[in-house]
């Protein structure tokens, strides 16, 4: 490894300090896809602070001349707490030290310098980086299609998976790793986690006194996701912690916290928190999306209070984040368009909960009985924005241990339908069920993501002409999906095949008496296409046919009589019609 540390990292004479060592925590030659970490040793006590504007800075320049500045952050190893008299699930397992993190983006030589907090030089050197082992870089809006996502090198990336927001109990990290394992085994690529007061939030009850063992738990969660090839949406704050004052040190009561935190100009304390967060995790490509606040409107008695905060907080985050990651904020209410009007979000986030067992208006209950149809109005609104969107929370509304929908739908009927519909209605990824532990894992439903992952892998998402269809509004079959003149991934859904009819009314799944002629338009004229019908969960192919598009680009497919749970992949054949 050509990692030049040929001389001790000697502080400038003006500081009159002993030598400081910058020791790599990795072995071998790093690659362009690797999160690299260093430890600073023999630093003066004045640098051991949570404010990263008062710690050393590593400046590293890539072979194309782009500079990255990584602030050292306070780190402390942790172990699981076994003492009931001590607060917190994890406690310190070593002294507080300073560490640095950086992910090199390109192979080649990367010159670096280390500077003291006052800017005076401490040392310099070069790190040699080998080529990446896989597609690299932060997740971006796709250069091929502004509705979709891709890695920085242009490789299409479609998030597939549910929420895995936290783990509970003494083995929470092991539980999260189990969930990640099952998701990855079935082709999942993405989950949404929270930095919550009960799992991973590094703020404590005291301003700027960060819970470093809790931050180490978040390190471990990210490491587990990285091991399984998953990327995460990471939720930084949430309405529960603000309302109840749990590790939310912005005031002694709800009113003072809301007034101090939810301001158009976010407070300096919040700015310091974001700086620390980005110093510690900003370079980690495991983070696909930062969600600044979960359901911020639920933190306010008057929703308008949070809208200026969304604008100010998203602007601040983009200013601080040199890695330029995607940003979102979630909004619980149906009036979400006004919330996103001025906020600098890269991804719009929608909700899709079934409210059947809540004391609500009958009209809303009736709407929710079609788990696909209920998502369509919000999807069509979001599509008008022209930016990526996803359904960040879907499923049956209820409590963890009291959710009648989860109790009766043990085979995951709604889970499957909303996972597919969230993407095929024009979202950038699958619909994300909320109940990962007491429902998906408890019922062994992880395989529901397998068929979706396999179908997505068959499509060329670099095709700039791919666009979501306008869902058909009449007839027995509702067709949703992505289509271009050259290819399509479509779900011809039998309209009456709903979770309510199947799960609650226990009606038999609908079938046609014979195969159905399915006319489709919008394909390249006078070209042959191959159509493959396959099961949504198992990906088993049940029928195949070659069809010829007429002079107007119309084709006629033969939909199997037992069309439930089937999607169709349509791809242009190389030869053209005579």
Instruction: Give the DSSP letter string of 394-413.
Output: EEE-SBTTB-HHHHH-TT-H
Let me know the angle formed at the C-alpha of 74 by 346 and 11, rounded to the nearest 5 degrees: 115
- Rg for the chain (alpha carbons), in Å? 26
Same structural domain, 195 and 331: yes
User: Is residue 111 domain-shared with residue 170, that is, in the same domain?
Assistant: no
Does residue 53 sit in the same domain as residue 199? no
199 and 125 together in one domain: no
What distance in Å separates the CA atoms of residue 428 and residue 51, rounded to the nearest whole number?
36
Question: Pick from 315, 347, 379: which residue ends a domain?
Answer: 347
Angle, CA of 364, 565 and 514, to the nearest 5°: 110
Residue pair 206/248 in contact by the 8 Å Cβ criterion: no
- For the record, the structure tokens of 412 come out as 């995951």
Residue matched to tokens 């960040």: 392
Structure tokens at 290: 């930062």
Q: H/E element holding 113?
A: strand 108-115
Rounded Cα–Cα distance for residues 330 and 32 (Å): 32
Looking at residue 84, what is its pLDDT?
63
Residue-level pLDDT at 168: 87
DSSP annotation of 250 reads: S
Asked, for residue 322, whether it belongs to a domain, the answer is: yes
Residue range(s) defining the domain that contains residue 297: 165-347
In three-state secondary structure terms, 467 is strand
Q: Residue 248 burial (CB < 10 Å; 0-12/13-18/19+)?
A: buried
Classify residue 327 as exposed, middle or buried by CB count within 10 Å of its CB (0-12, 13-18, 19+). buried
For residues 123 and 254, state if they share a domain: no
Do 55 and 189 lie in one domain? The reply is no
In a domain, 85, yes or no: yes
User: What whole-number distance in Å separates Cα of residue 481 and Cα of residue 485?
Assistant: 13
What is the structure's pLDDT at 558? Answer: 97
> What are the tokens at 358?
């809540």
Token pair for 259: 């007034």
Return the pLDDT at 75: 97
Q: Report d(CA 177, CA 171) in Å as an integer.
A: 10
Helix (H, G, I), strand (E, B) or coil at 549: coil
Look up the CATH number of the domain holding residue 24.
Answer: 2.60.40.10
Residue 558 contacts residue 519 (beta carbons within 8 Å): no
Q: How far is CA 464 from the centre of its chain?
A: 23
Confidence at residue 180, expressed as pLDDT on a 0 to 100 scale:
98
- 3-state DSSP assignment of residue 424: helix
Is residue 120 domain-shared with residue 172, that is, in the same domain?
no
Give the pLDDT score at 10.
29
What's the domain count of the chain?
2
SS3 content of the chain, % helix, strand, coil (to 5): 25, 30, 45
Q: Which residue has the tokens 């479509």?
A: 490
Residue 90 domain-assigned? yes
Please, are residues 426 and 348 in contact by the beta-carbon 8 Å criterion?
no
CATH number of the domain that 251 lies in? 3.20.20.80
Domain boundary among 76, 106, 129: 129
Distance (Å, rounded) from C-alpha 161 to C-alpha 39?
Answer: 34
pLDDT, residue 247, reads 96
Residues 96 and 222 in one domain: no
The token duo for 500 is 């309510």
Write the CA distances from 526 to 105, 459, 490, 514, 553, integer angstroms. Answer: 45, 21, 21, 28, 7
Any domain includes 519: no
Q: Which stretch of DSSP H or E encloses residue 124?
A: strand 121-129
207/117 same-domain check: no
Examine residue 402 and state whether it is found in any structural domain, yes or no: no
Instruction: Identify the DSSP state of 131.
Output: P
Task: For residue 411, give both structure tokens.
Answer: 């085979």
Distance of alpha carbon 291 from the chain centroid: 8
Last residue of a domain, one of 102, 129, 156: 129
Please give the Cα distance from 316 to 306 (Å, whole number): 15
Name the one residue in this structure whose structure tokens are 């609650």. 504
Q: Is residue 72 part of a domain?
A: yes
Q: Is the CA virtual torsion 175, 177, 182, 188 positive or negative?
A: positive
Spatial CB neighbours of 123, under 8 Å, sequence gap ≥ 6: 7, 8, 9, 10, 20, 22, 113, 114
Residue 300 near residue 293 (C-beta atoms within 8 A): no
Which residues, in sequence order, are bridge partners of residue 254? none
Which of the residues in the chain have pLDDT under 50? 1-17
pTM: 0.94
Sequence-distant (≥ 6) Cβ neighbours of residue 506 within 8 angstroms? none
The verdict on 73 and 217 lying in the same domain is no
- 564 in any annotated domain: no
C-alpha 382/C-alpha 68 separation (Å) is: 35
Tell me the DSSP string of 145-199.
Answer: -TTSEEETTS-B------B-----STTHHHHHHHHHHHHHHTT--EEEEE-BTTB
Other beta carbons less than 10 A from residue 187's beta carbon: 20
Residue 472 lies in a domain: no
Q: How far apart are CA 535 and CA 541, in angstroms?
A: 7
Rounded to whole angstroms, the Cα distance separating 556 from 542 reads 18
Question: 267 and 194 in one domain?
Answer: yes
Assess whether 39 and 181 both reside in one domain: no
**β-pair partners for 149:** 141
């Amino acid at each position: 490894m050509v990692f030049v540390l040929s001389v001790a990292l000697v502080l400038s004479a003006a500081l009159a300090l002993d030598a400081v060592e910058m020791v790599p925590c990795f072995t071998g030659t790093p690659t362009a896809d690797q999160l690299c970490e260093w430890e600073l040793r023999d630093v003066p006590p004045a640098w051991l602070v949570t404010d990263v504007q008062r710690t050393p800075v590593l400046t590293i320049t890539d072979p194309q001349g782009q500079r990255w500045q990584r602030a050292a952050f306070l780190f402390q190893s942790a172990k699981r707490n076994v003492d009931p008299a001590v607060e917190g699930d994890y406690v310190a397992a070593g002294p507080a030290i300073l560490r640095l993190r950086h992910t090199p983006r390109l192979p080649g030589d990367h010159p670096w310098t280390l500077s003291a907090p006052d800017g005076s030089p401490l040392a310099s050197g070069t790190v040699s980086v080998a080529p990446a082992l896989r597609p690299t870089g932060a997740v971006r809006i796709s250069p091929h299609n502004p509705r979709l996502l891709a890695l920085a090198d242009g490789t299409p990336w479609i998030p597939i998976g549910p929420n895995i927001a936290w783990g509970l109990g003494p083995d929470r990290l092991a539980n999260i790793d189990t969930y990640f394992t099952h998701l990855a085994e079935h082709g999942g690529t993405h989950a949404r986690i929270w930095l919550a007061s009960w799992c991973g939030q590094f703020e404590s009850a005291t301003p700027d006194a960060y819970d470093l063992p809790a931050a180490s738990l978040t390190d471990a969660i990210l490491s587990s996701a990285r091991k399984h090839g998953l990327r995460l949406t990471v939720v930084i704050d949430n309405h529960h912690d603000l309302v109840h004052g749990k590790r939310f040190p912005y005031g002694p009561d709800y009113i003072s916290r809301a007034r101090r935190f939810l301001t158009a100009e976010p407070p300096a304390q919040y700015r310091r928190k974001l700086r620390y967060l980005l110093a510690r995790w900003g370079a980690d490509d495991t983070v696909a999306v930062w969600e600044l606040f979960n359901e911020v409107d639920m933190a306010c008695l008057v929703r308008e209070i949070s809208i200026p905060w969304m604008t100010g907080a998203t602007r601040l985050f983009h200013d601080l984040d040199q890695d330029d990651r995607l940003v979102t904020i979630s909004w619980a209410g149906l009036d979400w368009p006004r919330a996103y009007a001025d906020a600098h979000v890269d991804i719009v986030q929608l909700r899709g909960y079934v409210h059947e067992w809540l004391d609500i208006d009958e009209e809303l209950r009736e709407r929710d009985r079609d788990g696909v149809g209920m998502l369509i109005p919000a999807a069509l609104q979001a599509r008008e924005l022209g930016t990526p969107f996803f359904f960040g929370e879907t499923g049956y509304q209820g409590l963890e241990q009291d959710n009648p929908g989860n109790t009766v739908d043990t085979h995951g009927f709604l889970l499957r339908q909303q996972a597919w519909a969230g993407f095929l209605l024009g979202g950038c990824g699958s619909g994300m069920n909320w109940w990962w532990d007491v429902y998906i894992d408890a019922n062994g439903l992880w395989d529901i993501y397998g068929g979706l992952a396999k179908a997505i892998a068959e499509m060329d998402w670099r095709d700039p002409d791919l666009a979501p269809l306008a869902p058909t509004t009449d007839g027995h079959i509702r067709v949703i999906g992505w289509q271009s003149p050259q290819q399509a991934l479509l779900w011809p859904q039998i309209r009456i095949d709903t979770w309510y009819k199947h799960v609650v009314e226990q009606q038999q799944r609908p079938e046609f008496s014979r195969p159905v002629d399915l006319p489709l338009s919008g394909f390249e004229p006078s070209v042959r296409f191959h159509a493959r019908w396959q099961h949504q969960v198992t990906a088993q192919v049940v029928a195949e046919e070659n069809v010829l598009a007429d002079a107007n680009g119309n084709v006629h497919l033969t939909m199997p009589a037992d069309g439930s749970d089937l999607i169709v992949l349509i791809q242009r054949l190389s030869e053209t019609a005579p």
